[in-house]
């Protein structure tokens, strides 16, 4: 069978679902962040698959590039927030962080 | 700003100076001596060794009388000596260093430096100062057996030859003694016949015999 | 079954397996390193989709940047040696709930993707490299976005440094008192 | 049955492709292994000559078999996994590091007619793939369950990530002058004598003379950066044995340690090869068309790279180890501004010529 657009899209769907699963179930904030990265990557895969097969061409690739840039910025900020949480609570469990201010 | 640039240039130039030093060293002759293979020409301090330094033992064979005092004195039994008597019929007439006649051949004189503890007791025990500490302090070798040093001037064949000569002499002596004995018996028989004739000289002969015994 | 298909399934297997490890592993470190394989598999996919620049960018930014950042985050938020790095799910109900939702999403998206009539335009001429085209359109068509992204990165850099800074710049009275008392105790000791 | 049939069909259909792929993959590996033996021997010999010693002399004539003996020694050593180590990560780490080095080798153009993989974004690929070593180092350091390993790994990672920025600046500068990221194209542009090398301003005739100071400074910056990226002295803080036993590979032994060793020397070759390509003409002969046939090009490429490997070894036995704060000072306050200034000049040169 020839590999086409649908194959890539299904892989991206699976990746997306796994990211959602991680965000819903995991306790540790860093693992939630990893789930987020999975979701972003799934979106990226879609962009590039469409760039190749759907006639999106360079535009798709550039969108993916910006997604990567934003993912980098987002993970830096998210990790700094997580570090801050760790300094205040001495853990990073998302379900036990209840207050925004001491 | 100027300081900053100066700092950079200084750092860079000092690195270059260091690299020059190492580059020159790269082509200088090396000072390593591949020690056990190549001995350094001047061994470190071998001529400035103190007189009582206890280094490798050396045996001056012409001085050695073969008295085995050193073997007895050695606390770790590293000296093995075997002597063979000098046969009087031997054509070689060996002399000691001081001109006296040699009594023993040193058919074996081994020192095992693997065992030696460098106490120096053997040098004290030696009556003729034949065994002394030398200035040689290097023992490194590839095989432990190389540390067993033979000082005897003879190899196995020569030792066997000397022993054979000695045995011959002993045999000759024994034959001679036998012949003497037989001759003496004969003479005794003859004397018995004449014994009664000369009774008065008995005391004198016994006195003579006594003197002979004493002198022996 | 051709070579492309074999390579595709190989990469798909790597992505799904390591992604599953990311999601299900109890050890955060293992999850982080499994994420590396996921990202590599995706880079392989991008290369197969003829966007080599994106593939290399993926390796450079995700693997060399974000993942290292995440690993440092893990190391800084768990006391590294002697402390359990394991973390569990929030609860059994939540687990089932999450599994159900993700299965529904996966199935739904897959159905959607297979049943939709996409306009498929396979690229006839394989371009030498997508880098020229990307560079050209970044500096013409998308110049504003490009600049905004640069500013965004700068803001993120400063913001991250500010948030993670140990001594808060805006001190409340209580916290400053605490700090001073701590210092006093230290001096007395 | 079906599976067998499928496999058989698949293999018979693609035998040529698979065979060619394997053969081409083996070439850089063979190159790496032979080079590692030469480099280890060279390191031992140069180190001892600089210290007025002889170096290895007992194994073979002049100790020529010493690296081979070391390989066999490492092969027969016991492979220890420490108690309490994270086994999968611990076992994986050396291979990840080696993978980064090996993948970088795959895009080096050995000659105008041969590169294992003629990637058109080769330089970018090399910068990207060398970040794999960072992950391998963290993995090994963390999985060893040893504080020294962990501190060494953290230091190493912070050092490599910091120095990646000036290194990328240098590569970008040359890329902006060459208008290409393809290493083969960059090498081809510098053909026709050493005057055309990018360290001397590139192929732009006499008018480029104002560019030469900038390119030379850029080359020096890249050389310093490459030392730091391969954790070589004077920047081998992560392995400082006076503080950290041996850094991130303290707990490794036997074959896995050999992989670390191989990757270190391989990375030395990779950075030297990048330097050769972007500043010293890659495979092109320094004397115009003289000795510039494809076979001789391989010789020129390897000779130039080995020269820089030798330079790294020479520098290692010259300078003492820096402190961590000096290391970071050098990177952020000296190399980065310098490389940025030079990058601006080179970008201008790229626009003009």
Query: Could you write out the three-class secondary structure of D114-164?
Result: ECCCCCCCHHHHHHHHCHHHHHHHHHHHHHCCCHHHHHHHHHHHHHHHHHH
* Alpha-carbon gap, residue D231 to D218, rounded angstroms: 20
Instruction: Kindly state the average pLDDT of the residues B98-112.
Output: 78
* Alpha-carbon gap, residue D297 to D113, rounded angstroms: 9
pLDDT of residue C185: 41
Element (H, E) at B58: strand B57-59
Contact residues, chain B to chain D, C-beta under 8 Å: 8, 12, 15, 18-19, 21-23, 25-32, 34
* Alpha-carbon gap, residue D255 to D159, rounded angstroms: 26
pLDDT of residue D5: 66
* Alpha-carbon gap, residue D111 to D297, rounded angstroms: 5
| pLDDT confidence tier of residue A102, bands split at 50, 70 and 90 | low
* Alpha-carbon gap, residue D226 to D163, rounded angstroms: 8
Residues in chain D: 353
Q: How far is CA B147 from CA A60, B37, B139, in A?
A: 84, 16, 7
Pairing mode, strands B104-112 and B79-85: antiparallel
What pLDDT, in 10s, does the model give residues D111-126? 877 777 777 888 888 8
Q: Is C131 within 8 Å of D121 (Cβ atoms)?
A: yes
Instruction: Kindly state the average pLDDT of the residues B34-58.
Output: 67
The residue among C19, C85, C65, C84 whose CA lies nearest residue D135 is C65
pLDDT of residue C173: 47
Q: Is the pLDDT of residue D1 over 60?
A: no
pLDDT of residue B31: 78
pLDDT of residue C184: 43
Residues in chain A: 102
pLDDT of residue B213: 55
Residue B200 in any domain: the answer is no
* D329 touches C at CB < 8 Å: no
Q: Is the pLDDT of residue A73 over 70?
A: yes
DSSP code, position C61:
I
Q: Is A88 within 8 Å of A102 (Cβ atoms)?
A: yes
Residue of higher predicted confidence among D309 and B134: D309
Chains C and D: how many Cβ contacts under 8 Å? Answer: 73
The residue among D48, D80, D35 whose CA lies nearest residue D262 is D35
* D204 touches C at CB < 8 Å: no
pLDDT of residue C171: 46
In which domain, by residue range, is B91 found?
57-159
| pLDDT confidence tier of residue B42, bands split at 50, 70 and 90 | low
The residue among D265, D297, D266 whose CA lies nearest residue D281 is D297
What pLDDT, in 10s, does the model give residues B172-208? 888 888 888 888 888 888 888 776 666 555 555 555 5
Computed on alpha carbons and rounded to an integer, the radius of gyration of chain B in Å comes to: 35
* Alpha-carbon gap, residue D123 to D132, rounded angstroms: 15
| pLDDT confidence tier of residue B22, bands split at 50, 70 and 90 | confident
How far, rounded to the nearest angstrom, does the alpha carbon of residue C102 sit from its chain's CA centroid? 19
Q: How far is CA C58 from CA A12, D105, D128, D138, D167, in A?
A: 16, 20, 9, 19, 19
Positive or negative: CA dihedral B161, B163, B165, B167: negative
Residue of higher predicted confidence among D265 and C120: D265
pLDDT of residue C81: 47
The C-alpha of D52 sits at a distance from chain B's nearest C-alpha, in angstroms, of 4
- Among D46, D54, D220, whose Cβ lies nearest the Cβ of B26? D46
pLDDT of residue C125: 57
Element (H, E) at B132: strand B131-133
Q: Is the pLDDT of residue D85 over 50?
A: yes
Name D261's Cβ contacts closer than 8 Å, sequence gap at least 6: D36, D74
Q: How many Cα atoms sit within 13 Å of D268 on the Cβ side? A: 26
| pLDDT confidence tier of residue B212, bands split at 50, 70 and 90 | low
Q: Is the pLDDT of residue C100 over 60?
A: yes
Q: Is the pLDDT of residue D7 over 70?
A: no
Q: Is D128 within 8 Å of C67 (Cβ atoms)?
A: no
CB interface of D with C, residues 104-123, below 8 Å: 119-121
* Alpha-carbon gap, residue B16 to B63, rounded angstroms: 66
The residue among D168, A23, A18, D107 whose CA lies nearest residue C65 is D168
Overall domain count for chain B: 1
What pLDDT, in 10s, does the model give residues D68-77? 888 888 888 8
* C8 touches D at CB < 8 Å: no
Burial of D37 (0-12, 13-18, 19+ CB in 10 A): middle
Lowest mean pLDDT among A23-27, B20-24, B56-60, D111-115: D111-115
Q: Which residues of C touch D6 (CB under 8 A)?
A: 1
Residue of higher predicted confidence among A17 and C91: A17
Q: Is the pLDDT of residue A23 over 50?
A: yes
Question: Contact D52/B22, CB-based, under 8 Å?
Answer: no
Q: Is the pLDDT of residue D66 over 60?
A: yes
Q: Which residues of A touch C101 (CB under 8 A)?
A: 20-21, 24
- What CATH class has A5-93? mainly alpha
Name D172's Cβ contacts closer than 8 Å, sequence gap at least 6: D343
Kindly provide the b/e burial profile for residues D160-183, where b requires at least 16 CB atoms within 10 angstroms of the residue's own CB.
bbbbbebbbbbbbbbbbbbebbbb
Q: Is the pLDDT of residue A11 over 80?
A: yes
Q: Is the pLDDT of residue C179 over 50?
A: no
- Among D52, D315, D319, whose Cβ lies nearest the Cβ of B31? D52
What pLDDT, in 10s, does the model give residues D190-247? 887 777 888 887 777 777 788 888 888 888 999 999 888 888 878 887 777 777 777 7
Question: Contact C59/D131, CB-based, under 8 Å?
Answer: yes
What pLDDT, in 10s, does the model give residues D20-59? 888 888 888 888 888 888 988 988 888 888 888 888 888 8
The residue among D130, D53, D141 whose CA lies nearest residue D98 is D130
- Helices C3-24 and A29-53 sit at what angle, rounded to 10 degrees? 160
Contact residues, chain D to chain B, C-beta under 8 Å: 46, 48-54, 57, 220, 314-315, 317-319, 334, 338
| pLDDT confidence tier of residue C124, bands split at 50, 70 and 90 | low
pLDDT of residue B43: 52
Burial of C75 (0-12, 13-18, 19+ CB in 10 A): buried
Residue B215 in any domain: the answer is no
Other Cβ atoms less than 10 A from the Cβ of D13: the count is: 13
| pLDDT confidence tier of residue A83, bands split at 50, 70 and 90 | confident
State percent of chain C over pLDDT 90: 5
Lowest mean pLDDT among B53-67, B108-122, D313-327: B53-67
CB interface of D with C, residues 171-190, below 8 Å: 181
* Alpha-carbon gap, residue B8 to B170, rounded angstroms: 97
pLDDT of residue B36: 66
Question: Domain spans of chain D?
Answer: 1-76, 77-352
Residues in chain B: 216
The residue among D5, B12, D196, A18 whose CA lies nearest residue C35 is A18
Residue of higher predicted confidence among B154 and C121: B154
Q: Dihedral through CA D214, CA D215, CA D220, CA D222, nearest 10?
A: 120
pLDDT of residue C163: 78
Q: In chain D, which ranges are continuous DSSP H helix?
A: 2-50, 66-76, 87-105, 122-129, 131-143, 147-178, 183-189, 212-229, 241-244, 254-279, 294-316, 324-329, 336-352
* Alpha-carbon gap, residue D165 to B5, rounded angstroms: 21
pLDDT of residue D67: 86
Residue B187 in any domain: the answer is no
Q: Is A49 within 8 Å of C49 (Cβ atoms)?
A: yes
Question: Contact C56/D124, CB-based, under 8 Å?
Answer: yes
Residue of higher predicted confidence among C128 and B120: B120
Other Cβ atoms less than 10 A from the Cβ of A94: the count is: 17
- Among C66, C76, C95, whose Cβ lies nearest the Cβ of A71? C66
Instruction: Kindly state the average pLDDT of the residues B130-145.
Output: 78
Q: Is the pLDDT of residue B92 over 60?
A: yes
Instruction: Kindly state the average pLDDT of the residues C74-82.
Output: 65
Q: Which residues of C touch D97 (CB under 8 A)?
A: none
Q: Is D39 within 8 Å of D269 (Cβ atoms)?
A: yes
Q: Is the pLDDT of residue B11 over 70?
A: yes
Q: Is the pLDDT of residue C130 over 80?
A: no
State percent of chain B over pLDDT 90: 0
Picking from C44, C64, C73, C136 by the largest number of D CB atoms within 10 A of its own CB, the best residue to mutate is C64
pLDDT of residue D293: 79
Instruction: Kindly state the average pLDDT of the residues C147-171.
Output: 78
Q: How many Cα atoms sit within 13 Å of D285 on the Cβ side? A: 11
* Alpha-carbon gap, residue D319 to B172, rounded angstroms: 85
* Alpha-carbon gap, residue A45 to B194, rounded angstroms: 145
Q: Is D279 within 8 Å of D211 (Cβ atoms)?
A: no
* D161 touches C at CB < 8 Å: yes
Q: How far is CA D169 from CA C11, D61, D174, D280, in A?
A: 33, 45, 9, 17
The C-alpha of C1 sits at a distance from chain A's nearest C-alpha, in angstroms, of 6
A93 SS3 class: strand
Domains of chain C: 3-134 (1.20.120.1200), 142-189 (no CATH)
Element (H, E) at B106: strand B104-112
| pLDDT confidence tier of residue C183, bands split at 50, 70 and 90 | very low
Q: Is the pLDDT of residue C35 over 60?
A: yes
* Alpha-carbon gap, residue D201 to D353, rounded angstroms: 10
Q: What is the CATH number of the domain that holds B146?
A: 3.30.70.3270
Lowest mean pLDDT among B91-95, B196-200, D179-183, D345-349: B196-200
Q: What are phi and psi of A19, to 5 degrees?
A: -60, -45
Q: How far is CA B127 from CA B12, B63, B64, in A?
A: 73, 10, 9
Residue of higher predicted confidence among D120 and C87: D120
* Alpha-carbon gap, residue D329 to D228, rounded angstroms: 13
| pLDDT confidence tier of residue C126, bands split at 50, 70 and 90 | low
Q: Which residues of B touch D329 (CB under 8 A)?
A: none
pLDDT of residue B203: 57
> Which phi-psi region, left, alpha or beta, contains residue D158 (left: φ > 0; alpha: ψ -120 to 50)?
alpha
Q: Is the pLDDT of residue B118 over 80?
A: yes
Contact present, B and C (at least 3 Cβ pairs less than 8 Å)? no
pLDDT of residue D256: 85
Q: Is the pLDDT of residue D2 over 80?
A: no
Q: Is A72 within 8 Å of C66 (Cβ atoms)?
A: yes
The C-alpha of D327 sits at a distance from chain B's nearest C-alpha, in angstroms, of 13
Burial of B104 (0-12, 13-18, 19+ CB in 10 A): middle
Sheet holding B104-112, edge to edge: B79-85, B104-112, B148-150
The C-alpha of D21 sits at a distance from chain C's nearest C-alpha, in angstroms, of 13
DSSP code, position D330:
I
Q: Which residues of A touch C162 (CB under 8 A)?
A: 80
Respond yes or no on whether ipTM tops 0.85: no
* Alpha-carbon gap, residue D41 to D227, rounded angstroms: 19
pLDDT of residue C186: 42
* Alpha-carbon gap, residue B29 to D216, rounded angstroms: 34
pLDDT of residue C181: 42
Picking from A12, A14, A43 by the largest number of C CB atoms within 10 A of its own CB, the best residue to mutate is A14
Q: Which residues of A touch C161 (CB under 8 A)?
A: 80
What pLDDT, in 10s, does the model give residues D254-292? 888 888 888 888 888 989 988 898 888 888 888 877 777
Can you point out the beta strands (E) in B134-189?
A: 148-150
Of B14-18, B159-163, C81-85, the range with the highest mean pLDDT is B14-18
Q: Is the pLDDT of residue B93 over 50?
A: yes
Q: Is the pLDDT of residue B62 over 50?
A: yes
Instruction: Kindly state the average pLDDT of the residues B157-165.
Output: 78
């Amino acid at each position: 069978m020839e590999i086409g657009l649908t194959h890539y899209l299904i892989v991206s769907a699976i990746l997306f679902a796994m990211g959602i699963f991680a965000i819903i179930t995991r306790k540790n904030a860093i693992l939630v962040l990893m789930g987020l990265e999975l979701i972003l990557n799934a979106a990226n895969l879609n962009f590039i698959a469409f760039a190749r097969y759907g006639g999106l061409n360079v535009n798709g690739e550039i969108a993916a590039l910006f997604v990567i840039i934003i993912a980098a910025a987002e993970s830096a900020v998210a990790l700094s927030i997580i570090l801050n949480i760790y300094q205040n609570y001495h853990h990073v469990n998302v379900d036990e962080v209840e207050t925004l201010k001491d | 700003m100027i300081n900053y640039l100066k700092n950079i240039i200084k750092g860079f130039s000092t690195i270059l100076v260091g690299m020059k030093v190492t580059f020159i060293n790269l082509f200088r002759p090396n000072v390593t001596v591949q020690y056990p293979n190549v001995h350094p020409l001047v061994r470190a301090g071998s001529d400035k060794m103190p007189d009582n330094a206890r280094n490798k033992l050396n045996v001056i064979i012409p001085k050695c009388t073969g008295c085995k005092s050193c073997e007895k004195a050695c606390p770790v039994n590293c000296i093995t000596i075997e002597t063979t008597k000098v046969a009087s019929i031997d054509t070689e007439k060996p002399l000691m260093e001081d001109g006296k006649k040699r009594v023993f051949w040193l058919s074996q004189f081994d020192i095992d430096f693997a065992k030696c503890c460098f106490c120096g007791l053997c040098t004290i025990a030696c009556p003729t100062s034949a065994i002394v500490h030398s200035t040689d302090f290097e023992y490194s070798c590839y095989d432990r057996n190389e540390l067993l040093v033979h000082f005897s001037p003879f190899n196995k064949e020569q030792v066997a030859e000397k022993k054979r000569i000695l045995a011959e002499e002993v045999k000759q002596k024994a034959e001679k003694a036998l012949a003497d004995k037989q001759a003496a018996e004969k003479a005794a028989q003859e004397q018995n016949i004449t014994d009664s004739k000369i009774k008065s000289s008995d005391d004198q002969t016994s006195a003579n015999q006594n003197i002979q015994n004493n002198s022996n | 079954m051709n070579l492309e298909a074999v390579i595709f399934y190989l990469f798909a297997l790597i992505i799904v397996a390591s992604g599953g490890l990311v999601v299900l592993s109890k050890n955060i470190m293992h999850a982080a390193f499994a994420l590396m394989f996921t990202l590599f598999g995706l880079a392989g996919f991008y290369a197969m989709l003829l966007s080599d620049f994106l593939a290399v960018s993926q390796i450079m930014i995700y693997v060399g940047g974000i993942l290292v950042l995440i690993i440092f985050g893990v190391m800084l938020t768990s006391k590294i040696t002697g402390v359990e790095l394991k973390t569990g799910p929030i609860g059994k109900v939540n687990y089932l709930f999450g599994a159900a939702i993700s299965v529904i999403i996966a199935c739904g998206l897959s159905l959607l993707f297979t049943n939709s009539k996409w306009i498929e335009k396979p690229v006839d001429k394989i371009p030498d490299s997508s880098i020229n085209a990307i560079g050209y359109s970044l500096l013409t068509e998308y110049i504003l976005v490009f600049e905004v992204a640069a500013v965004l990165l700068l803001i993120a850099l400063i913001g991250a440094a500010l948030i993670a800074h140990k001594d808060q710049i805006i001190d409340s009275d209580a916290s400053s008192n605490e700090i001073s008392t701590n210092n006093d105790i230290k001096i007395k000791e | 049955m079906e599976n067998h049939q499928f496999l058989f069909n698949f293999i018979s259909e693609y035998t040529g492709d698979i065979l060619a792929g394997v053969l081409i993959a083996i070439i850089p590996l063979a190159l790496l292994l032979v080079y590692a033996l030469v480099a280890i021997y060279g390191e031992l010999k140069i180190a001892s000559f600089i210290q007025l010693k002889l170096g290895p002399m007992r194994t073979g004539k002049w100790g020529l078999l010493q690296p081979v003996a070391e390989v066999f020694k490492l092969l027969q050593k016991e492979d220890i996994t420490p108690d309490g180590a994270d086994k999968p990560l611990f076992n994986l780490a050396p291979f990840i590091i080696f993978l980064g080095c090996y993948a970088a080798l795959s895009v080096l153009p050995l000659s105008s007619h041969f590169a294992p993989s003629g990637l058109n974004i080769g330089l970018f690929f090399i910068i990207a793939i060398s970040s794999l070593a960072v992950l391998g180092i963290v993995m090994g350091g963390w999985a060893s369950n040893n504080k020294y390993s962990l501190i060494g790994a953290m230091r190493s990672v912070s050092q490599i990530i910091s120095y990646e920025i000036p290194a990328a600046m240098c590569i970008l500068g040359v890329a902006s002058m060459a208008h290409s990221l393809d290493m083969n194209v960059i090498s081809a542009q510098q053909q026709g004598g050493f005057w055309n090398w990018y360290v001397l301003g590139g192929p732009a005739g006499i008018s480029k003379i104002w560019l030469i100071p900038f390119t030379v400074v850029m080359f020096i910056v890249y050389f310093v950066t490459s030392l730091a990226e391969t954790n070589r002295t004077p920047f081998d803080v992560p392995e400082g044995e006076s503080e950290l036993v041996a850094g991130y590979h303290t707990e490794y032994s036997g074959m896995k340690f050999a992989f670390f060793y191989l990757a270190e020397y391989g990375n030395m070759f990779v950075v030297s090869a990048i330097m050769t390509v972007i500043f010293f003409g890659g495979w092109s002969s320094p004397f115009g068309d003289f000795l510039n046939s494809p076979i001789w090009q391989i010789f020129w490429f390897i000779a130039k790279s080995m020269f820089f490997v030798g330079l790294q070894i020479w520098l290692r036995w010259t300078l003492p180890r820096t402190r961590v704060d000096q290391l970071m000072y050098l990177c952020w306050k000296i190399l980065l501004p310098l490389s940025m200034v030079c990058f601006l000049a080179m970008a201008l040169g790229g626009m003009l010529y």
